[in-house]
Structure 1
């Protein structure tokens, strides 16, 4: 397409229609599995730390398990809200 003498439009890009990327369904399945794994591992960490807390209380050992419980809870909150956090960051 010529707009004036000596000026040439080299490429014209149309408005493409959005398409799903290849393997999108498999990637979403993997993300769902990883989400379930993160939630399950957090629950198991809280159960383990609770058992360790009871054992330390029973035997009178050093109390390190409250840190484990707090860490598991903070990690669980971050893991389950990761999607919301990413949506907020990308939209900004």
Structure 2
């Protein structure tokens, strides 16, 4: 039994020694994916800015017309969404890494 294990160890050890240590390499189309991520990041930031501007205008209109105030919730939601969106990379690094 020990002869079989020794032979298997020698055989597989020689095969595994030939494999080598691969160097890290970017996956195919990585530059296109990163470009898409950058575009989506700009879209998220732009939509957050537009949401805050819209909510601010609505807040002024509600204040002027004397209606119920719903816009402070919109401003708070847009700000919280912006914080989560801009810190998504840091959050993922903390969770995954």
Name the TM-score, length of structure 1 as normaliser: 0.88
Partner residue in 1 for 2:24: 18
Question: Residue 57 of structure 2 aligns to a residue in which SS?
Answer: helix
Larger Rg: 2
Alignment correspondent of 1:41: 47
Name stretches of at least 5 consecutive residues in structure 1 with no aligned partner.
Answer: none
**Structure (1/2) with the larger strand percentage:** 1
Matches within 5 A, 1:1-92: 4-5=6-7, 7=8, 8-9=11-12, 12=16, 13-91=19-97
* Paired residue secondary structure (1:9): helix
**Which TM-score applies when normalising by structure 2?**
0.84
* CA displacement at 1:16 relative to structure 2: 0.9
Shift of the alpha carbon at 1:14? 2.7
Residues 56, 63 of structure 1: 8 Å contact kept: yes
Greater than 4 Å deviation, 4+ residue runs: none
Contact 1:3 1:9 in 2 (8 A): no
Residue ranges of structure 2 left out of the alignment (5+ in a row) = none
Count of matched residue pairs: 89
